[in-house]
Structure 1
């Protein structure tokens, strides 16, 4: 099925958000961007990719850390980000890359405040995928061969970083239903079911939009 929709996916760690995203991308025949956003932002900003990876969905307010990391920035003369702390440079470069990717056509963007970056776009559906903690612990423990205790610790720490990053850079609250157009539980619907729910929602929304245009 064809779509002109840009889908952003926020996700709790261990909820299979990226895997679900790939299934939706395959269904619509569009690209999914996850870490690829970092590479794109690095290439277009002139800041080395390792810095993007070190800041990935992790807010850093430490002036000292920013000062030290700034020495590794490979910014070119006249870089519009040159007078900013490195964490702000990284965010804004990523913000610009997200908009450029969206301007190229329908796609799926995972995490990294993509819903906020594209909030002025009319053809965006923002999705948040969550799941019961026990289900996420089982998934992470299985994927990374961890004990339940270590998996739980990783989940809590990763979600805390994602929430802090999102809440710091946007005017919304991470995981709050009011921050997204569609919120789904992958532990209730399963991976296939959650992907199907997103696909059906977008198809229904497109049908309604098409009908409205005919009126």
Structure 2
């Protein structure tokens, strides 16, 4: 089973992912873990941009997408990540996982969201910063993720039809979010 978790910034995805990994006894990969795996396998250089959430140049994106409506034109990094993970059981936070592993029958794709004010409060408390700074970080990270996802997949980030589950994890909290995901997995019969 592979669980992919996409998220708005400040939704508690790391805590949820760690709890799911512990519950199922499977590895939990963030950007950093996947980056280390790519380095160990000698493919990091081919994926360097993929591991950053740099702002995507919208003009270059538009030019590169011309005539490529059938799918992403930046698929080499996606293919490499797919090959690195193979059929192993794991949890992946971000990195377009819902798209990369969409053909796996044992995929459970999740999108975590929350009201902006609640996410801002969570980020401010977690990082010990003011509300204005936290709001700017939340908005910048979400904007970056929108561009990143579109660049690599040509899909709209957060579109509910691209995920098995979409819910407000901030209101639900980490433990109940994990319980909901586990209940869904049990309900569809994935082991």
The yes-or-no answer on 1:30 pairing with 2:26 is yes
The secondary structure found in structure 2 opposite 1:47 is: helix
The yes-or-no answer on 1:39 pairing with 2:36 is yes
Quote the offset at 1:6 in angstroms: 0.6
Q: Matches of 2:79 and 2:46 in 1, distance apart? A: 16
Do 2:56 and 2:147's aligned partners in 1 also have CA atoms closer than 8 Å?
no
* Distance change in 2, residues 1:134/1:62 (3 Å): closer
Q: Which has the larger Rg?
A: 1
Higher relative contact order (CA 8 A, sep 6+): 2
Match of 1:131 in 2: 114
Match of 1:97 in 2: 81
Quote the offset at 1:95 in angstroms: 3.9
Q: How many correspondences in the alignment?
A: 177
Question: Could you tell me the TM-score, scaled by structure 2's length?
Answer: 0.82
Match of 2:8 in 1: 12
Gaps of 5+ in 1: 65-87, 211-215
Q: Matches of 2:135 and 2:79 in 1, distance apart? A: 31
Question: Could you tell me the TM-score, scaled by structure 1's length?
Answer: 0.74
Gaps of 5+ in 2: 61-73
The equivalences for 1:45-194 within 5 A come to 45-47=43-45, 51-52=48-49, 55-61=51-57, 88=74, 92-93=76-77, 95-103=79-87, 105-194=88-177
* Distance change in 2, residues 1:168/1:62 (3 Å): closer
RMSD: 2.6
* Distance change in 2, residues 1:125/1:116 (3 Å): same
